[in-house]
Amino acid sequence: MKQVFLSYHDIHTDCIKLAKLIKKKYKPKKLILISRGGLIPGSIIANYLGIQDIDVIALKTYSDRRKNTDIKIFKRIKSEKKLVVIDDLVDSGDTAKIVKDMMPNSKFVVLYAKTSGKKQADLHLYDFKDKDWLVFPWEQD
């Protein structure tokens, strides 16, 4: 497994790039952030876009760098509105599938996409291989 270390500067710069694309393509009035990975990127993007209306979906798909066999959903949102959902990364695509089930008209937007889950993201900035492990600066290791 190849580790890819991302800095706060990397994340901030990428969030601004992604925010500009979101503004062009979707012009959202509200954002949904995926807890926990999407909280920091979502906050930066919301600030750039001037969006105050934010909600959170809380779920857990990983534990100690291992994929959980059953996904735990702590907070869900059901909506038919066209909403933009922000996460840091699409890996297998499981989170995106859950989000699209809860909110079928939503757009799932991430900074980074791995090969296996890439098709589940409606918009992303950069591609990574499945064997890459992205290490975000706020993660404890």
Q: Clarify whether 64 is annotated catalytic.
A: no
Name the phi and psi angles at 49, rounded to 5.
-85, -5
Q: Clarify whether 88 is annotated catalytic.
A: yes
CA-CA distance, 81 to 93, in Å (whole number)?
A: 21
Name the phi and psi angles at 96, rounded to 5.
-60, -40
Asked if 133 and 4 touch (Cβ cutoff 8 Å), the reply is yes
Q: Which amino acid is at 46?
A: A
Q: Clarify whether 91 is annotated catalytic.
A: yes
CA-CA distance, 69 to 17, in Å (whole number)?
A: 34
The helix/strand/coil state of 79 is coil
CA dihedral 95, 101, 102, 105 (to 10 degrees): 110
Exactly one of 70, 88, 101, 132 is catalytic; which is it? 88
Exactly one of 87, 94, 101, 141 is catalytic; which is it? 87
Exactly one of 10, 53, 55, 91 is catalytic; which is it? 91
Active site residue ranges: 87-88, 91
